[in-house]
Amino acid sequence: MTSPAITAPGTPEPSSLDYRNMALIITGHALTHWYPATFYMLLPLIGAEMGLSYSQIGFVMTCQFAAGALSNVPGGMLVDMWGRKGQLMALALFWVGFPYLLMGFSTQYWMLLICVMLVGVGNNLWHPTAIPLLGRMFPTRKGMALSLHGMGGNVGDALAPLAVGALLTTLSWREIVVLNVIPGAAMAVFLLYFLGALSFAPKHAKSSPKTAVSEHQGGGQSLDSYKQGLRALLRTPGLFMLTLSSSFRSMTQGTLLTFLPLYLAKEMHYELVWVGAVMALLQLAGFIAAPIAGHLSDTMGRRTILISCFGVSGVVLLLMTFAGGSTFFVFLIAVLGFFLYAARPIMQAWMLEATPRNMGGTAIGLMFGMQSAGQAVAPILAGMIADRYGLMAAFYLLAFTIILANLMVLGIPATEGQAKHD
């Protein structure tokens, strides 16, 4: 893609209701990331208590991502056919938080694996629901809207390590996961109250100020209509390469989030408070990058910005293998966070533009399904490498996967992503 997105004439402008709903969706997205970010911080303690090896710790995340991979595509199909996006987002948020409550009472490794698999299912129902909805609300500014959505995730990812690092000075990890269910449950009720009764009213129809829906949001569709849309989706040029590139990028991100806290704690001997601070720095850099990358991709084109982000990420990861244990290593973490997280909303916007409008949930479900499949493989592979060659060796795997992601982008047809279905 070499030019900004094109939107059909007469596209409705976003309303004040769209902006309010976007704020709610961004807040909910922050919480869907709060929980996994909490878990990454607690993994070293859980691993130490249960006597887990690096491979076993990696397999924990493999199970979570494998469950997400299996549930993403059916979740996307449900979104496109059911259409009740407010209800689905509330369900997703609750489903993310509740398994962590159960985790607080687990005493066996297999119980831990079941809990993280349940998290994988719930967390991956959110994105096929929220991302296409935002794309419809802001059709001419998809990159910016999705970058703001991504910033919500960065906020959750950044604040959770700081909060958990502070709480661990007085509470056990089991007490934290039990208390942690409260904000998610409260936000799920909030979403259900404001967005759960979406009526999908036609344009200009009267509706309650509390639950009104803009004309951009649309409803469900019949099975025959869905089948037609699915056939059109599968014929989309470059669809496989785009989802595969997204998968390799997520392999890099998921493995980094799994093993970076372990490296900081075990190899650099950081206290957990400082581990949390460094992880927050990673997310802060992503938070800053998101709106910049979103705006540039809307104006300069997705492909150009995406290749730049992946290229710099690969170089930084290679530099990190030489800077291990130093202050410069921490600086490189921030640089990596800026470019690695900047790519996420760009790929999502590209996917929405390249696929039929009524298949947004399935398209995003397919993308996140491929991402979860990649993330399911990467942590266990990185764990095996770390057990054999040391933790720093896992960072070579990260550099390799982000380079592959860039190669996939180069293979996507140049005409891709021109919003032909909008």
The domain segmentation of the chain, as residue ranges, is: 16-410
The set of residues, in sequence order, having a beta carbon less than 8 Å from that of 340 and lying 6+ positions away, is 249, 252, 253, 256, 286, 309, 313, 402
Six-digit token string for 75:
């979740």
Give the confidence band of 88 by pLDDT, cuts at 50, 70, 90.
confident
Specify the CATH class of 16-410 in words.
mainly alpha
Residues 6+ apart with CB under 8 A from 191: 24, 28, 86, 89, 90, 93
Q: What is the pLDDT of residue 245?
A: 92
Contact 275, 259 (CB under 8 A): no
Q: What is the mean predicted confidence (pLDDT) over 381-405?
A: 87
The pLDDT score that the predictor gives to residue 136 is 81
pLDDT grade for 2, boundaries at 50, 70 and 90: very low
Q: Which helix (H) or strand (E) holds 331?
A: helix 327-354
Examine the pLDDT at 351 and tell me if it is beyond 50: yes
Q: Distance (Å, rounded) from C-alpha 233 to C-alpha 363?
A: 7
* Model pLDDT, residue 139: 79
Instruction: Examine the pLDDT at 6 and tell me if it is beyond 80.
Output: no
> 419 vs 107, which has greater pLDDT?
107
Q: Name the phi and psi angles at 46, rounded to 5.
A: -65, -45
- 421 band by pLDDT with thresholds 50, 70 and 90: very low
pLDDT more than 90, % of the chain: 5
Confidence at 196, pLDDT banded by 50, 70, 90: low
How confident is the model at residue 315, as a pLDDT? 92
Contacts of 285 (CB under 8 A, 6+ apart): 334, 335, 336, 337, 338, 341
245's CB contacts (< 8 A; 6+ apart) are 347, 405, 406, 408, 409, 412
**pLDDT tens, residue by residue, 264-296:** 888 888 887 888 888 888 878 888 888 888 888
Question: Mean pLDDT for the chain?
Answer: 80
CB within 8 Å of 212: residues ≥ 6 apart: 17, 199, 201
The answer to whether the CB of 35 falls within 8 A of the CB of 179 is: no
Q: Does residue 83 or residue 250 have the better pLDDT?
A: 250
> Given a cut of 60, is residue 203 above it in pLDDT?
no
Can you give the pTM of this predicted structure?
0.71
Taking alpha carbons only, the member of 140, 357, 82, 419 closest to residue 232 is 357
